[in-house]
Structure 1
Amino acid sequence: MTKYSLYLESGPKHKKTMVHVLDLLGCIAQGPTTEAALESTPEAIRTYLRFLQAHGETVRPEGVISTVVAVHVKEGTWLGNGDPTPGFAPDFKTLSTQDKVINLQRLAWMQIDLLELIRDVTQEQMLVEPKGGGRSIYGILEHMAESHTVYLRYLVSNVSGLSQALKAVQEEGPDSLPLTLSGLWDITSSRLAALTDAERKVLVSHGQVTWSARRAMRRMLEHGWEHLMEISTRLNMPLYL
C-alpha cells in the first residue's frame, strides 16, 4: 500500500478545490467542493500512475492507495486554481538534479501525448467554443503555452527566443501547432535542463508570491496535466485506461 500526502487549496467554505499530490508531482484532482475533490483523488492518482506506466516507469496503478491531508490552504486569492499565494512547504526546497531530470522527462511525456491527442483534430474542432462557455481547444493550447512561459520567466527572467516562440504559437494558427508548440517546449526544456546550482535553490519574490525552481516545475507539470485531461475529455478520447 502506498500512502500519499495531499496538499489542498480552497476557500474557507470548502467550495472549488484542487488537490495536489506532491509525491507524484503533476498529479492533481479537482472538484466543486473539497469533499468531491477528495473523492476523485484515488482515481486521479491511478490515472497518473497509468500515464507513468505507459511511458515505462515501474509503478502499480492497481495497488491499494491510501491518502492523508497534509495541508489545506484556505486563505488567499484565486484558490482552487492551482497556485495558492503561499505555496506549499515542499515548493521551497532545493530542486535536486535527480528530480529535475525526472520532472523534465515527465513533462516531455505529457507533451508527446498532447501532440498525439490533437494530431487528427480538425481546424473546426480546434476553434469551436463549448456551448456552456469556455475556451476552444486552440484557446486552451494558447493558454498552456502562455502559462508555461510565465512559470519559467518567474524563475529565470528573460529566456532567449522564448517571446518569439510564444508569438508563433499565438499567430501561426492551429495547423502549425505541432511545430510551434514543439519549438516553444524545446526552448523551455533546454533552459530548465541548464539550471545552475544557484537557480535550483534560489527563492524569487514576485509581489506576494515566492517562486522557486521546484514551484515552477510543479506548476508546469500540474498545468500541463490539467489541460491534457481537459482536452481528452472535450474530444471524448480518454487516455491511460
Structure 2
Amino acid sequence: MGVLMVYRLYLESGPQKKKTMVHVVDLPGCVVTGPTTDEALRRTPAVIRHYRELLKKHGVVVECLEDEIQIEVAQHIMEGSWLGNGDPALLVPTDLEPLTAEKRERSIQCAECMRAELLELVNGLSDEQWMAQPEKGRSIRSILQHIFGAEYQYIRGYFGKLDGVKGPGPVETMGRGELLAWMAFVRVRELEAIRAWPVEEQARQSTHGQQIKTASKVMRRMLEHQWEHLLEINDRVGVEI
C-alpha cells in the first residue's frame, strides 16, 4: 500500500481569486500558476509529479515516487502588489528559516536539475526554433537570457560579488554557444558564492524598500523563477504536463 504524500501550499492571488500562483514549499522552486485559484490548484498535482520526475531523471533519489499526492493549502495571501505573478514582497514561513548546509545543498541540487533539463531542451532546438519570435511572448533565446540575468541579480544582489565575474556581460550580442558557455561559467561562480555564505548569516534578514530578504527567500525566488520559465519553454516545445 502506498504512502500518502502531503504537500503544503502557499497561494497568492487577488481577493477575487483570479490569476494565482501556488508555491509548493516542500519542493524547492516548484510553483504552479493558473488564471483562477481553482485552475491553479487543479493543475498542482500534475506539476508536482512532473517536478519529481525531473529530479529523478537527473539523478536525484526521489522516494515514494508513485505514491498518492495530497495537497493542503497552508495559507492564501490576498494582500500585496504583484499577487499571482510571484510577488517579490511575499514571505512564506520557510523564508524565515536559516539556510542551513542541508537546505542549501538541496536547493542547489534542484537548481542543477532544472539547468540540466533546460539545456537538454534548448540543445535539441534548431537555430530557427532558438530565435523564432512568437506572436505573443519572447523567443526561446530571449527567455534563456532573461533566466540568466535574473539569476545573476538574485545571487549577486544578496550573496555578494562573484569571483572572476564583473557583471552579467553583453549577452545580447553573444551567439548561442557563447551564451551557454558564459551561463555555465557564471553558474559555477554563483554556487561558490552561495556555499561560502557564513554560518552566522544563515538567518540574517535585510530590508530592501518594502521587501524583507533572507538567504532562504533569495534561493526560493531564484528557483521559482527558473522553474516558471522552464515550464514556459516546455510549453513552447510541446511538452505536455
Normalised by the length of structure 2, the TM-score is 0.91
Q: Does 1:112 align with 2:135?
A: no
Aligned to 1:200: 202
- Structure 2 distance, partners of 1:60, 1:173, is 42
CA deviation map 1:80-103 (0-9, x unaligned): 122341321210111111111111
CA displacement, residues 115-149 of structure 1 (integer Å, 9 cap, x when unaligned) = 12111323322222212x11111111111011101
User: Which of 168, 175, 178 is the matching residue for 1:176?
Assistant: 178
> Counterpart of 1:159?
162
Query: Residue 64 of structure 2 is aligned with which of 60, 65, 78?
Result: 60
* Residue 138 (structure 1) aligns with: 141
Structure 2 distance, partners of 1:169, 1:60, is 41
Shift of 1:161: 3.7
Contact 2:52 2:62 in 1 (8 A): no
Q: Does 1:19 align with 2:41?
A: no
Tell whether the 8 Å contact from 1:17 to 1:37 is kept in structure 2 after alignment: yes
Matched, 1:147 2:150: yes
* Runs (5+) with no aligned partner, structure 2: none
> For each residue in 1:50-90, what CA deviation from the matched residue of structure 2 results, as whole angstroms up to 9, or x when unmatched?
11222231323321111111111111111112234132121
Q: 1:95 aligns with which of 76, 92, 99?
A: 99
Q: Does the 8 Å contact 1:126/1:138 carry over to 2?
A: yes
**Residues 147 and 226, structure 2, Cα contact 8 Å, conserved in 1:** yes
Partner of 2:84: 80
Q: CA deviation at 1:207?
A: 0.5
The letter of the residue matching 1:71 is Q
CA distance in 2, matches of 1:84, 1:168: 26
User: C-alpha root-mean-square deviation of aligned residues, in Å?
Assistant: 1.7
Aligned residues, how many?
237
Give the drift of 1:197.
Answer: 1.0
What CA distance in whole angstroms lies between the structure 2 residues aligned with 1:157 and 1:190? Answer: 11
CA gap of 1:168–1:185, structure 2 versus 1, over 3 A, is farther
**Correspondence for 2:127:** 123
The TM-score, its normalising length taken from structure 1, stands at 0.91
Q: CA deviation at 1:234?
A: 0.5
Please report how far the alpha carbon of residue 3 of structure 1 lies from its aligned counterpart in structure 2 after TM superposition.
0.9
> Is this contact kept in 2: 1:7–1:21, CA < 8 A?
yes
Whether 1:47 aligns to 2:40 is no
Counterpart among 227, 235, 240 of residue 237 in structure 2: 235
Shift of 1:193: 1.4
Shift of residue 163, structure 1, vs aligned partner:
4.2
Deviates more, 1:49-58 or 1:29-38: 49-58
SS of aligned partner of 2:76: strand
Tell me the SS of whatever aligns to 1:11: coil
Q: Secondary structure at the match of 1:210?
A: strand
Deviates more, 1:179-188 or 1:151-160: 151-160
* Structure 1 position 174, deviation (Å): 2.4
- Specify the alignment match of 2:31 in structure 1: 28
- After superposition, the Cα gap between the structure-2 partners of 1:3 and 1:237, relative to the gap in structure 1 and judged at 3 Å, is closer
The 3 A distance-change label for structure 1 pair 163 and 126 is farther
Assess, with a 3 A threshold, how the Cα gap between structure 1 residues 235 and 163 changes in structure 2: closer, same or farther: farther
